[in-house]
């Protein structure tokens, strides 16, 4: 016959193993949930960047068209998707690094012109 010590030892080992498995399961579930949230945030961030890039591109096209129309000049207007790609890259780099990527061809004012609002008032 099985003695009482063997039964109690087996029950104790089973309880410890069960508790360990539950702790491990909880940890893995929390990690999976966190990874899912990070993925959702990253997907949402990319979606917003793309939406804004498309908006900027469309506004830039409208502006270029309006300037050309008012000045009665021909102008070359790039496709919105092509322009959005550039703006998306710029916005993503700006978001991650706090500045436009190297080589971004933009007419940018000096810091003092931005600070005091004197750009183009010479």
Global pTM reads 0.59
Q: Does residue 52 lie within any of the structural domains? A: yes
Q: Does residue 8 lie within any of the structural domains? A: yes
Q: Does residue 121 lie within any of the structural domains? A: no
Domain residue limits at 80: 4-116
Q: Does residue 49 lie within any of the structural domains? A: yes
Number of domains, the chain:
1
**Number of Cα atoms under 13 Å in the Cβ half of residue 31:** 6
Q: Does residue 44 lie within any of the structural domains? A: yes
pLDDT level of residue 47 (50, 70, 90 thresholds): very high
pLDDT at 93: 93
Q: Does residue 122 lie within any of the structural domains? A: no
Q: Does residue 27 lie within any of the structural domains? A: yes
Residue 22: pLDDT over 80? yes
Residue 121: pLDDT over 90? no
Average pLDDT, the chain: 83
pLDDT at 110: 60
User: Comparing 24-28, 47-51, 105-109, which segment has the lowest mean pLDDT?
Assistant: 105-109
């Amino acid at each position: 016959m099985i003695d009482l010590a063997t039964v109690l030892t087996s029950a104790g080992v089973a309880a410890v193993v069960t508790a360990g498995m539950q702790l491990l399961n909880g940890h893995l579930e929390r990690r999976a949930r966190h990874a899912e949230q990070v993925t959702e945030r990253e997907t949402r961030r990319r979606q917003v960047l793309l939406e804004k890039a498309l908006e900027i591109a469309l506004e830039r096209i409208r502006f270029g068209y309006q300037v050309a129309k008012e000045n009665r000049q021909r102008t070359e207007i790039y496709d919105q998707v092509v322009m959005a790609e550039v703006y998306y890259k710029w916005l993503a780099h700006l978001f991650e690094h706090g500045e436009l990527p190297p080589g971004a061809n933009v007419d940018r004012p000096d810091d003092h012109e931005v600070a005091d609002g004197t750009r183009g008032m010479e």
